[in-house]
Structure 1
Amino acid sequence: MWLLAWAISPVAFPNIVVILCGNKKDLDPEREVTFLEASRFAQENELMFLETSALTGENVEEAFLKCARTILNKIDSGELDPERMGSGIQYGDASLRQLRQPRSAQAVAPQPCGC
């Protein structure tokens, strides 16, 4: 089963991040839309695409991570400015701004000994 809600065009709003998720990947024999059809649709409409399974959890977290990475890349490249009103993005707590750095770039604080 596929559900596609198409209300905002990424062509009209170039900085919007949209991902097309084909759910029920675990029911492959009952598929009505082929992977090729879905990926072609996503490519033609400038969408990211993943097949997911809510039952098994396959690619569910990856869908959110992929969107988040894309948004952060747009912020880093200057395409999106979270400080600009109407950008659609805002930071919460100021300490969260440090999350923009990749984990490998963040200093790892030594853990105190629990002895």
Structure 2
Amino acid sequence: MAQITGYLTPAQAAAFQNHAASGGLDASALANLLIVRELRTKRLTILKIDFDIDLPPGERMKITAHQRLDTTKEAFVAHAAATGLKPSPAAAILFRAELKERWLTFSLGVNQFDSV
């Protein structure tokens, strides 16, 4: 099984897991959605300006996207390389951006209109 792992601070990792759970997903499922979304939207170059940070090895936790097929991983590795990044930092950028943007919440229509 192919995997793409991104590293977040412990607080960010907990927030990411909670955010995923709020949409009925586990962290791996949300990570996969974000990776597939990135392959379609190609925003990584813009996102890395605000969300690319180095974490000391002792202060990071991993979030792993488990994929059934190698093709998604291969495409993401190539996409990350085209932006000058390795896959792990590229994934972490997407995960951090989601903590700010809350695309999942918006996509699921959570907290939308009350009944009229």
Structure showing greater radius of gyration is: 1
Q: Which has the higher helix share?
A: 2
Q: TM-score, normalised by structure 2?
A: 0.24
| TM-score of the superposed pair, with normalisation by structure 1 | 0.24
Question: Does 1 or 2 have the higher relative contact order (CA < 8 Å, sep 6+)?
Answer: 2
